[in-house]
Chains A and B, each alone.
Chain A
């Protein structure tokens, strides 16, 4: 098991004059599944983006550590996998082409055996050479999981992971979360009870609102 820790130190986010959440503190460790819960617009995706270093918090900071060593911001993408409904892959490429490009841009080898295993896990192997523009939203969501798992990340960040998925797709995701969380740190941002039932600890974002 990898020793990955994620620490939030007094993270506050304000958009314009609206306070999204205030003074969030937590420490997450690998080998667990953590949940970020809250109703629509509560700031789950915002917190997920802050954790992924896509947006900067207004105050406070997020510290990623692997084996007690802090990971520099510009190297974080090598250690993290991210899935969300607003993540878009390239429609003009096939699923396999997308993944090949991503592996090369990351500077990693394209592991055909692993990719084929993941295509089979998410039941999309037969469509891997089709252009993404012909995919349904559920199939695109499945490809995003392969995209996130391609480089075997130590941190897997899943924002609304089961959106657009049918029951078979959801089962594949839950099975994957269980497997990955044995070695890595998994964070699930969702308001689906079935998604959150996998979590060992849940962070209620509502509690970090000023009027709560």
Chain B
């Protein structure tokens, strides 16, 4: 409940300041437009569009998800949070906020993508939905942990994608593989290894987040 109250505070604050949502919306529009202009009249393969989908999602996440902690640090309200909540509450609250943002962002990107790219055809929708759900979870969890780390550092804007790349790479590679399977119409039972890797990644990152957050949160 306390974490939910922190999420409500963050959401209300976001609705008034539009720190993250504007950044995400602009990035999604610009990136998809650039891809469309680059492709032009060319006919690209479904596998390539599937890959590009996760590239757009990865870079969009980089542009907006760090705000959960960075905005607190930049405004000087980190101390206020430290005085009203236990570290676990803060982590949970920020995680819920990033989860909501990631799911909205990924849903918007996928819908736009499906409408604008004819070659993006998924033949096994349930498999794609599994990748979408666990992939979004993984991105939200990792982004929350990384955002907490970089919020204390200088050069936050540069550090976030640099630190995110090696941490998110195993996730993105697995998602690319599962998306390829979904486009090819491979069944879920034939993709068990990849799905297990995806879920394992989420569980490992969540556990690491809870173990590390106390140390990250306190100076």
Residues of A within 8 A of B (CB): 52-56, 74-75, 77, 80, 82, 86-93, 97, 101-102, 104-107, 147
Contact = CB atoms under 8 A, between A and B. Distances in A.
A93 B12 CA distance: 9
A107 B88 CA distance: 14
B39 interface: no
Contact of A88 (B2, B16, B77, B86): B77
B164 to A, nearest CB: 27
Contacts of B88: 74
A206 B17 CA distance: 44
B218 interface: yes
5 closest pairs, A vs B, by CB? A104-B5, A88-B76, A74-B86, A101-B9, A92-B16
Contacts of A147: 80
A77 B84 contact: yes
A92 B83 CA distance: 19
Interface of B: 1-2, 5-6, 8-9, 12-13, 16-17, 75-77, 79-80, 82-89, 93, 218-219
Contact of B17 (A88, A92, A101, A107): A92
A54 B218 contact: yes
A107 to B, nearest CB: 5
A54 B2 CA distance: 20
Contact of B77 (A52, A82, A90): A90
27 contacts: A54-B83, A54-B218, A55-B219, A74-B87, A74-B88, A77-B83, A77-B86, A80-B83, A88-B75, A88-B76, A88-B80, A89-B80, A90-B75, A90-B77, A92-B17, A93-B12, A97-B12, A101-B5, A101-B9, A101-B12, A102-B80, A102-B84, A104-B2, A104-B5, A106-B85, A107-B1, A147-B80
